[in-house]
Structure 1
Amino acid sequence: MDERVYELLNDQINKELYSAYLYMSFADYYEDEGLSGFANWYMIQAAEERDHALIFRKYLLDNGKSVQLKGIDQPDKTFSSYLGPLEAALEHEKYVTSLINDIYGAAHDVKDYRTMKFLDWFIEEQLEEETNAEDMITKMKLFGTDAKALYDLDQEYAARAYSMPTPLANA
């Protein structure tokens, strides 16, 4: 495996674990605000991001590469409205999309088709992540100022259940 591709893949493990920390901090914010459904949504997001790190870890190990874990930064976001974490999530998902695209581009440059194929799942996943984030923002803007509608949204997000990502389930 090309050294640059390896480094980007290994760094992505750290980025995914940071994403899990970030989403846990969003869950904490919503829990403190009494919106346990939103907290549930983001705890599941945190679990998914951890799973993404595990998928990258397994890919490196399956390709005979060592994994080098790095320190995970503390999330530094603070919020003054229910909309804040939702907008931060969309911004973060767009950032993660750019990271996946960078790895894909590096793999393409060296004709690492195996890594490109591996990343296809993440490319689809990022489309879903950005769409979900945009939908949550739209719903909050439409309904977030009405207590009953906010309660209904919170109940909707409380119903979200964790499911193991396909690459881990098939491992």
Structure 2
Amino acid sequence: MSTRTQAKTSKFHALLQDQIRNEFSAEHQYIAIATWFDHADLPVLAKYFYKQAVEERNHAMMIAQYLMDQDSAVEMPGIEAATSKFANAKEPIALALAQEQTVTEQIVQLAKTAREEGDYQGEQFMQWFLKEQVEEVATMRKLLTVADRASSNLFDLENYVLREMSGPSDASGAPHTAGGAL
């Protein structure tokens, strides 16, 4: 068995390892949200959040690929429990927004740490994630606003998601995903 891959000891690389867990936890939370919508017979919202779950998985695997490219060992950590019970359709969307805001703070901290440590490759790697988080937070904020406006008319909410949020995603410039993007 090869012992060439050593764990890097920089704070940035340690935070990347933590971020893998954070991204898989976000994936798990999106699956819980998607299944809640699926069970509530809201297939468009369910499909959207299933897709978001895959996106979070891919983010974790992008980080894993970066660590491997840097000849650093990758640790696959356990994940946090997901919230799966909601009182109404607005609650899971509000949770998704809060989750994206938290992930944004984590990504900003990663970029800041890479810069502070003089890890210019790490800083460059984080640029795509910073851009992605602006889009993710804005999208969830809009979805929550529309959920507020739709109130109990969930067909309007589903129609909005189908009309405005179901197009192809633009992953141009995205880092490579270990094992390939799903």
Q: TM-score, normalised by structure 1?
A: 0.90
Question: Quick one: which amino acid aligns to residue 49 of structure 1?
Answer: E
Matched, 1:79 2:107: no
Q: CA shift at 1:14, angstroms? A: 1.0
- 1:90 corresponds in structure 2 to 97
CA RMSD of aligned residues (A): 2.1
Q: Which runs of 5+ in 1 are unaligned?
A: none
Say which SS state the counterpart of residue 20 (structure 1) adopts.
Answer: helix
Give the Cα separation in 1 of the matches to 2:165 and 2:118: 44
Hey, what does 1:12 align to over in structure 2? Answer: 19
Q: Would you say the 8 A contact 2:125–2:175 is kept in 1?
A: no
CA distance in 2, matches of 1:38, 1:143: 14
> Which residue in the other structure is 2:10 paired with?
3
In structure 2, distance between residues paired with 1:74 and 1:112? 33
Q: Name the residue aligned to 1:168.
A: 176
Matching of residues 61-72 of structure 1 within 5 Å: 61-72=68-79
1:154 is displaced (CA, Å) by: 5.3
Quick one: which amino acid aligns to residue 100 of structure 1? I
Q: Structure 1 residue 164: deviation in Å?
A: 5.7
Match of 1:122 among 121, 124, 129: 129
Aligned to 2:63: 56
Structure 1 residues 26 and 164 mapped into 2: Cα distance closer, same or farther (>3 Å)?
same
1:2: how far off?
5.2
Provide runs of 4+ in structure 1 moved above 6 Å: none
The structural deviation recorded for 1:163 is: 6.6
Q: TM-score, normalised by structure 2?
A: 0.85
Per-residue CA distance 1:31-87 (angstroms, 9 max, x = gap): 011101000010000000000001000000000100011111221342101100110
What runs of 5+ residues in structure 2 fail to find an aligned partner?
1-7
Query: 1:1-40 residue pairs with structure 2 within 5 A?
Result: 3-40=10-47
Distance 1:76 1:150, change over 3 A: closer
